[in-house]
Structure 1
Amino acid sequence: MGWIVTLLVGGLIGWIASRIMNTDAQQGIIANVLVGIIGSALGRWFFGDVIGIGAAESAGSFSLVGLAFGVLGAVILIALLKVVGVFR
């Protein structure tokens, strides 16, 4: 059951981030899920461990704060992928 929730929340986070970064037309469902899951991990690491924001530990969880930090991490990931040339 945990994997299903992870996929659903990752897809939601990836979809929101792709809408913010205008890459929704280039991403499919699988890309949204991957960007959401990896972006949540990136958000947890960057905002929680590097910057030291304690609430960032909930990144990727199904709460408002968790979704916010997950989306921020996914936006950073999409920006990095745009620099590399994966997205235009």
Structure 2
Amino acid sequence: MEGLGWIAAIIVGGLAGWIAEKIMKGDHGLLTNIVLGIVGALVLNFILTLIFGATLGGWIGQLIIGIIGACLLIWGYRAIKR
């Protein structure tokens, strides 16, 4: 996660994963929420950097990116699972 330390990335990732879980009506554990939030943010940051050359910075920006990225990961997992 751009501009955040490891502890902050875990906190923001966990929060983003939890919010995405509520939006997508999933039922995951704490560790899964943290992983979904962090991986979702990493993937979406990579995509945004490729397309626009920049991404959102700071806690709020990374939280938004993490939520969207985690929702996309949950959606993708469900699509493959079917």
Band the TM-score falls in, shorter-chain normalisation: 0.7 to 0.9
Unaligned runs of 5+ in 2: none
CA distance in 2: counterparts of 1:13 and 1:48, whole angstroms = 20
2:36 corresponds to which residue? 35
Q: Residue by residue, what CA displacement relative to the aligned partner does 1:7-40 show, whole Å, maximum 9, x if unpaired?
A: 11110010111111111xx200000000001000
1:6 corresponds to which residue? 9
Cα separation, partners in 2 of 1:76 and 1:53, compared to 1, 3 Å:
farther
- Runs of 4+ aligned structure 1 residues displaced above 6 Å come to none
Determine what percentage of the aligned residue pairs are the same residue.
33
**Aligned-CA RMSD value:** 1.9
Matched ranges for 1:16-55 at <5 A: 16-23=19-26, 26-49=27-50, 51-52=51-52, 54=54
TM-score by length of 2: 0.80
Q: Residue by residue, what CA displacement relative to the aligned partner does 1:56-85 show, whole Å, maximum 9, x if unpaired?
A: 253xx41x2221122111111111111122
Structure with the greater relative contact order (CA < 8 A, sep ≥ 6): 1 or 2? 2
Specify the code of the residue in structure 2 equivalent to 1:52.
F
TM-score by length of 1: 0.75
Unaligned runs of 5+ in 1: none
